[in-house]
Structure 1
Amino acid sequence: MGETILEMKRISKEFIGVKALSDVNFKVKKGEIHCLVGENGAGKSTLMKVLSGVYPHGTYEGEIVFEGQTQRFRTIKDSVNAGIVIIYQELALFPDLSVYENIFAGNEVKRGKLVDWNQTIVKSKEMLRKVKLDVNPETLVKDLGVGKQQLVEIAKALSKDVKLLILDEPTAALNEDDSENLLQLLRELKNQGITCIMISHKLKEVISIADSATVLRDGRTICTLDADKGEITENAIIKHMVGRELSDIYPKRASSSFGERVLELVDWSAYDPRLGRHVAKDVRLHVRKGEIVGIAGLMGSGRTELALSLFGNPKEYRLQGEMRLEGKAVKFSHTSDAIRSGMAYVTEDRKGNGLFLAQDIKSNITAAHLRAISSKGLINHNEEVKQALEYKQSMVIKAPSVEQLVGKLSGGNQQKVSIGKWLFTEPKLLILDEPTRGIDVGAKFEIYSIMNELIARGMSIIMISSELGEVLGMSDRIYVMAGGKIKGELPADQANQENIMQLATQ
């Protein structure tokens, strides 16, 4: 490493009066893995879209120099032809086409004017070997897991003679094993001379893989850190990202005494007839007023399925056992029953199931409780705006107005809208499923602070999380699930990563 392969000089980009990038300077050395970090809305993805031609030359100010040549990319195809390929968090694959068809889509292997399918399959096998993916190239992409689909995307990039590979949150939807496999592949590609830029919110991954890391904040370059100089540490990255020290990522809350049991499950089981097995079995747990109860476990342990079985059973599991809310046995035949009883559930999939991305903030905030802003079947739009403004302010949702489309917000602000939507129903018990997935450390801190405020007001929270640090940092008590069963209950002061993982792998 040493030779510069990419330099972006004084890049500025504006959207209808909003300055997304302001005089950004970004330099990448040939053959390195360079991580780009910053809070949601810092400008990371916008900068990469400028680089890749999504935002064409002429729509931004500044200069792009790649391999010593000034570039004026007007389309994505221009950047691909130069050897720059970007892989987005939302994979751009055709699920109903085969692996080999996806790898060479738009870059077909031809004999004359016709596609040579036999040679396409041969070359796709070669690409699959490079990414260490052992699948039949004739397999349909929709039949692969997310981790393998990610590798197909990288194989597709390699088929285009990539020199600079850009990955936007590549591990956001992957489990730990798939994430580590992907990071190892990036190390091997680096050894083959391929330069990588990786956008990531997962600071542990950044620390483990980055040769350099550039921090953006509010559309500006803050600094570039060098791993060889020992500069890439969690504390250093956080300080530069948020502009302040976060000595404790998990905000402290005043010691609280817990009230009566708000929720209690007795021998609770949920059988999924489509899978032909129990997704939750003989579960016994309780949640007290003013308490955060964490539920830990590996993917597939049954945590989300348990939450859905409580929240009106939208998956139509066959339920057994007893659920008590504030001491009274309850049975819900629909999600609306759970809402009326004071329960709310913030899904792990905010884009797919939690929000209406094509609608504005105010419509999303009030969607789960329209009765509160309606009279005689008609929505009072003035009241809708009033309520949405209150939540926008109290939850520090960063948007120009409550008329802003939710799909245009950063991940952290989308998550705040998702939580606000359920707080508007005035729940007694709030279930948070992966509350900080895919958002930056600054937004995480804000959501943790919101959780503490809710607890201080007497609400109860069940938090499902795959991040053990989050479970340990925010919970008063922790249940550990595996195979649909509760394997153990730990007070926060007796829990650590080792004993949680020991229970989770039983």
Structure 2
Amino acid sequence: MEIAMQNIFKSFGDNHVLKGVNFTLAPGEIHALMGENGAGKSTLMNILTGILPIERGQIKINGQVTHFKNAMDAELHGISFIHQEMNNYGEMTVLENMFINREITNRFGILKTSAMRTQARKYLDYLGADFGLDMPIHDLSVGNQQLVEIAKSLMTDAQVIIMDEPTSALTENEINKLFKIVKELQATGVGFIYISHRMEEITTLCDTITIMRDGISVTTTKVADTNVNQIVKAMVGRDLTEFYPERTTQVGEVYFEAHGLSRQGVFNDVSFDVHSGEIVAFAGLMGAGRTEIMRAIFGIDRLDHGQIKVSGKVVENHSPAAAIKHGIGFMTENRKDEGLILDATIADNIDLASLRSFTKYGLIDEHNDRIFVEALIKRLTIKTQTADIAVSSLSGGNQQKVVLAKWIGAGSQVLILDEPTRGVDVGAKREIYDLMNELTARGVAIIMISSDLPEVLGMSDRINVVYEGKIMGTLATKNATQETVMTLATGGQING
């Protein structure tokens, strides 16, 4: 299938999101679509698949002018869209989610459950997903929910598959399996539009790249004819001399301690510490228990055993409110469901953890609160015209910055960052890294969970590697490699 999008315009009120974008997908091509958060990539794909109406411009499918009525119409014509923000129904099972609006029935309209189970299992097994079909979706990790979305797309026998950050929550092993499947499908003539901020994925997987910046298509070129520096410069309009800023912070005394933390069946006897001014990374495969450990520390989930100390004092974090009181902040990996109130304004979301500071006798000091919010928006370069719009209207990367602003504003002295740059463009990543360095320079102790090994090695001082709920080893980052981290993450031992 050939797709040609010509001179596409789209505005939301006074916000001109697309300003004459051109994009062409050749049959059987893997075409990367890159750009900073807010560049208009997702909007362009939403227009292609009928989710948003076109304002000006033309879409041709195999040479014929085409406008789809909605996403289902696009899917029926062979175009499937795997969204970055997953559209699952949490209380429904894996099987039910996979067959929403595509149920298999007999001629009397009765569900053919056995056929549905067989088909669902086939595609999940193809992706190496070993969870049950009858599990509620909300019981799955973000990565496994992503695998369900990918399986749903493969089930449609699409001629073109749009993937928006498909690997953001997947392990390296799962990414390799996905890439193998993409190449196999490409060999049968399936085309892919691949949206990602991960440079190594683009150079490994894709044939062609189109770069967008501020609502226009800046350049289209063969991946083999460009390099990372040229891609970054086209995306952000400037050179990024070093992707990971140098870690120069002086590490202080031990500020946070965990001793013997256990939760039956999830993690066992976890002990570690973090010094003021230090970034300690937690690495490991998906499902190893990294996030679960942090949820228990923050008081979201229960602890069966163990002790937590902050600044040498034992603390009881039986709830997130207690953890916040003790100076602990937690930026969760699932910003959509756990980090933000999507219908609330940017200002209200930033205020969530610190509003008490601006309240006296039940009244809010609106003047100083507004100064506080505006200062954080400016410092984190959140792209918005006003703090009073719904946070749901922001791009994924800017939503991530709002969550970070909330915890910085709360004055957290221990900051847990779970996948802090998931779905964030290269320019915003560097801004977040600079902020992390700035926070540690002020003495903040940072715990970073990341599935991105270059990020782990580029932005931490020490690395705790988790395997099946246990810390297999702690590495000084200066002596660590991707190979040593992966050895521990898969249950191996390192000599010496």
TM over 0.5: yes
Is 2:187 the partner of 1:191? yes
Q: Deviations over 1:169-200 (max 9, x none)?
A: 22233333333222222212211122221222
**Cα drift, residue 367 of structure 1:** 0.9
CA distance in 2, matches of 1:245, 1:306: 38
Aligned to 2:428: 443
> What residue is the counterpart of 2:470 in the other structure?
485
SS of residue matched to 1:173? coil
- Do the aligned partners of residues 79 and 301 (structure 1) sit closer, same or farther apart at CA in structure 2, a change above 3 Å counting? closer
Show structure 1 runs of 5+ residues with no match. none
Match of 2:231 in 1: 237
2:94/2:148 contact within 8 Å kept: no
Cα displacement (A) at 1:109: 6.6
Q: SS of the counterpart of 1:277?
A: coil
Q: Map residues 133-148 of structure 1 onto 2, 5 A cutoff.
A: 139-140=133-134, 142=136, 145-146=144-145, 148=147
The residue matched to 1:438 in structure 2 has which SS?
A: coil
Deviations 1:119-141 (A, max 9, x none): 993897499479936999x9447
Distance in 1 (alpha carbons) for counterparts of 2:116 and 2:340 = 43
Q: Deviations over 1:395-431 (max 9, x none)?
A: 1111111102111111111111111111122122212
CA–CA distance in structure 1, aligned partners of residues 361 and 161 of structure 2:
57
Q: Cα–Cα, structure 1 residues 70 and 429, in superposed 2: closer, same or farther, change >3 Å?
A: same
Between the aligned partners of 2:295 and 2:124, the Cα distance in structure 1 is: 40
Give the aligned residue type for 1:487. M
List aligned pairs for 1:196-211, cutoff 5 A. 196-211=192-207
Q: Is the partner of 1:490 in helix, strand or coil? A: strand
Out of 62, 65, 69, the residue aligned to residue 60 of structure 2 is: 65
Report the AA paired with residue 262 of structure 1.
Y
Contact 1:262 1:288 in 2 (8 A): yes
Q: CA deviation at 1:505?
A: 2.1
TM-score (norm 2): 0.88
Alpha-carbon shift at residue 329 of structure 1 (Å): 3.0
Q: How many pairs align?
A: 484
Are 1:314 and 2:300 matched, yes or no? Answer: yes
Secondary structure at the counterpart of residue 452 of structure 1? helix
- CA offset digits 1:4-40 (Å, max 9, x no partner): 8111111111110111111111111111111211111
C-alpha displacement of 1:92: 4.4
Q: Answer yes or no: is the 8 Å Cα contact 1:130–1:155 preserved in 2.
A: no
Equivalent pair of 2:261/2:303 in contact (CA under 8 Å)? no
Q: Is the 8 A contact 2:124 2:148 kept in 1?
A: no
| Residue 338 (structure 2) aligns with | 353
- The farther-off stretch of 293-302 and 449-458 is 293-302
Does the 8 A contact of 2:124 with 2:151 survive in 1? no
Residues 340/396 of structure 1: CA separation in 2 closer, same or farther (3 Å cut): same
Checking the alignment, whether the CA contact within 8 Å between 2:350 and 2:406 is kept in structure 1 is: yes
Larger Rg: 1
Q: Is the 8 A contact 2:302 2:318 kept in 1?
A: no
Identity of aligned residues (%): 38
Structure 1 CA distance for aligned equivalents of residues 62 and 240 of structure 2: 38
Post-superposition offset of 1:73:
3.1
Match among 278, 281, 285 for residue 291 of structure 1: 278
Asked whether the equivalents of residues 332 and 338 of structure 1 are also in contact (C-alpha less than 8 Å), the reply is yes
Residue aligned with 2:260, SS: strand
**8 Å CA contact 1:97, 1:140 repeated in 2:** yes
- 2:309 partner SS: strand
Does residue 1:181 correspond to 2:166, yes or no?
no
- Please tell me whether residue 50 in structure 1 is matched to residue 38 in structure 2: no
Q: 1:61 to 1:120 in 2, by over 3 A?
A: farther
**Structure 2: how far apart are the matches of 1:214 and 1:309?**
43
Partners of 2:17 and 2:386 in 1: CA distance = 17
Structure 1 residues 98 and 360 mapped into 2: Cα distance closer, same or farther (>3 Å)?
A: closer
Deviations 1:23-69 (A, max 9, x none): 1111111111112111111111111111111223xx41111111011
The answer to whether the Cα contact below 8 Å between 2:9 and 2:56 also exists between their aligned partners in 1 is: yes
- The residue type equivalent to 1:22 in the other structure is K
| Residue of structure 2 aligned with 1:323, choices 305, 308, 312 | 308
**CA separation of 1:260 and 1:214: change in aligned 2, threshold 3 A:** same
AA aligned to 2:285 is L
Q: Which one of 12, 15, 18 corresponds to residue 15 of structure 2?
A: 18
* Unmatched runs of 5 consecutive residues or more in structure 2: 492-496
Structure 1 residues 72 and 446 mapped into 2: Cα distance closer, same or farther (>3 Å)? same
1:257 aligned residue: 250
Secondary structure of 1:8's counterpart equals strand
Distance 2:233 2:37 in 1: 15
The corresponding residue for 2:208 is: 212
Partner of 1:344: 329
Q: Deviations over 1:230-288 (max 9, x none)?
A: 225433322222222223211225x33222221233x42222xxxx42514141x2222
1-side partners of 2:93 and 2:239: how far apart? 48
Q: Which amino acid aligns with 2:287?
A: G
CA RMSD of aligned residues (A): 3.0
1-structure distance, mates of 2:94, 2:36: 36
- TM-score, length-scaled by structure 1: 0.87
1:166 aligns with 2:158: no
* Partner SS, residue 329 of structure 2: strand
- Give the distance between the partners of 1:217 and 1:380, measured in 2 at CA: 39
C-alpha separation between the residues in 2 aligned to 1:289 and 1:135?
39
Q: Could you tell me how far apart the structure 2 residues matched to 1:385 and 1:129 are?
A: 50
Relative to structure 1, the CA distance from residue 74 to residue 257 in structure 2 (aligned partners, 3 Å threshold; closer, same or farther) is: closer
Q: Which residue of 1 aligns with 2:494?
A: none
Partner of 1:85: 80
Please say if residues 268 and 319 of structure 1, whose CA atoms lie closer than 8 Å, have aligned partners that are also in contact. yes
Q: Does 1:502 align with 2:487?
A: yes
Assess if the C-alpha contact under 8 Å between 2:104 and 2:115 holds in 1.
Answer: no
- 1:103–1:124 CA contact under 8 A, matched in 2: no
**Residues 450-489 of structure 1 aligned to structure 2 (within 5 Å):** 450-489=435-474
The separation in 2 between residues aligned to 1:101 and 1:437, in whole angstroms, is 24
TM-superposition CA deviations, 1:281-318 (whole Å, max 9, x none) = 141x222222222222222333222222322x321121
In structure 2, relative to structure 1, the CA distance for the partners of 1:375 and 1:134 (3 Å cut) is: closer
User: What is the aligned partner in structure 2 of residue 375 from structure 1?
Assistant: 360
Structure-1 separation of matches of 2:129 and 2:280: 41
In the alignment, is residue 423 of structure 1 matched against residue 408 of structure 2?
yes
